[in-house]
Amino acid sequence: MSELGKRVLVVDPPYVPVIEGINGIQVIDWMTHVRTGDNWLQTSPPELAQAITQDFGVNPFSKSKISCPSDEIRPNTEQAIRGMCDSLKTRIRAKTEFLKQQLSQEKWDCCYCVFHELHDMGYMCWHVHDTAHADHDPEIREIVGDPL
């Protein structure tokens, strides 16, 4: 679409490199399940990365090289599950606020954004959701509810 002259806003598609000279904005590896590149956040135009970090924050799962939440949290206690849910909600809020800002500033021909949080939640807390799962703990489920 960009090559056809359309203005595009693309945020966190999985496994996609930054396209230099895109007709619009591209944000990569910001609030994702795993990173594609070596940087924590890549953007086109490049100067947008600093503004995003300053105004909307960084991925709360940023300790590991690939930034997968499962590398940082083992959701097997009430505290870990609640912490993970809170971090995923932080990601959702940050990305939503960024999108709202961009959508209010310009009329885009296309807006494409991926929220990875449901994938992360299903990946990490299926054992809490699924009562037939081998690692299901009914006591934890009673305390935290169904995170999905």
Under the banding of pLDDT at 50, 70 and 90, the label for residue 105 is very high
3-class DSSP state for residue 29?
coil
> From CA 83, how far away is CA 143, in angstroms rounded?
14
Nearest by Cα to 71 from 34, 99, 19, 115: 34
Query: Which residues lie below 8 Å from residue 28, measured CB to CB, with a gap of 6+?
Result: 12, 13, 16, 17, 18, 36, 37, 41, 42, 43
20 vs 90 pLDDT, higher one: 90
Report the 10 Å Cβ neighbour count for 11: 22
Name the residue ranges covered by the structural domains of the chain: 2-139
Residue 126 corresponds to which tokens in the numbers above? 């299926």
Q: pLDDT digit string (tens) for 17-70?
A: 888 899 999 999 899 887 776 667 899 999 999 999 999 998 887 665 655 666
pLDDT recorded at residue 59: 86
3-class DSSP state for residue 44?
strand
Residue 123 in this model has a pLDDT that exceeds 90:
no
